[in-house]
Amino acid sequence: MQSMTSQQALIAALHRAMAADERVIFLGEGVATKNPELLAAFGAERVRNTPLAEASIVGCAVGAAAMGLRPVVDLLFSPFLMLAMDALVNSAGKLGALSGGQFEFPLVVLAQTGAGWSIGGQHNHN
């Protein structure tokens, strides 16, 4: 069995998912810059850097999911989930039922947590 870090495993899984389904897109602050192998393989239309605006990133991903894409969003750190909760709870979480099943929201949100990064209290809830 190959040994890899969790980040390497995540990128390998994303690569497989994106190769298998052209609807999978990867969005987030710096994702194209930090993952040049994904950018080279799938292009800037599917691997997109975003502004540092978590509510907007997730709101765009919810809309993309409603229209048939399968977004994977990297919010970097778990405290930033709070900034995106309206889109996650009130849109992605409810609109499928409120629309009578007309919409689905196949959406993945990544947000790491843990100790030992020396990144400051705003980025870590440990």
**Which amino acid would we find at residue 119?**
I
Rounded Cα distance, 70 and 25, in Å: 6
- At residue 94, the pLDDT reads 94
Q: DSSP alpha helices (H): ranges in 43-94?
A: 54-66, 85
Pick out the chain residues at pLDDT < 50: none
Q: Which pLDDT does position 78 carry in this prediction? A: 84
The full set of domain ranges for the chain reads 6-113
Which pTM does this prediction carry?
A: 0.87
> Using an 8 Å Cβ cutoff, are 15 and 41 in contact?
yes
Catalytic residue among 7, 9, 43, 125: 125
Q: Is residue 15 among the annotated active site residues?
A: no
Strands 47-49 and 70-77: unpaired
Query: What fold characterizes domain 6-113?
Result: Rossmann fold (3.40.50)
